[in-house]
Chains A and B, each alone.
Chain A
Amino acid sequence: TQLLEQSPQFLSIQEGENLTVYCNSSSVFSSLQWYRQEPGEGPVLLVTVVTGGEVKKLKRLTFQFGDARKDSSLHITAAQPGDTGLYLCAGGSGGGADGLTFGKGTHLIIQP
Chain B
Amino acid sequence: NAGVMQNPRHLVRRRGQEARLRCSPMKGHSHVYWYRQLPEEGLKFMVYLQKENIIDESGMPKERFSAEFPKEGPSILRIQQVVRGDSAAYFCASSPKGSSGNTIYFGEGSWLTVV
The residues of A with any CB-CB pair to B shorter than 8 Å are 4, 30-31, 33, 35, 40-45, 48, 50, 88, 90, 92-105
Contacts and interface: CB of A to CB of B under 8 A. Distances in A.
Given A48-B101, A94-B101, A101 B45 contact: yes
Interface in B74-115: 91, 98-109, 111
A96 B56 contact: yes
**Chain A, interface SS category:** loop
A88 B106 contact: no
A30 B100 contact: yes
A48 B106 contact: no
Interface of B: 1, 4, 31, 33, 35, 40-48, 55-56, 58-59, 91, 98-109, 111
A88 B42 contact: yes
B1 A98 contact: no
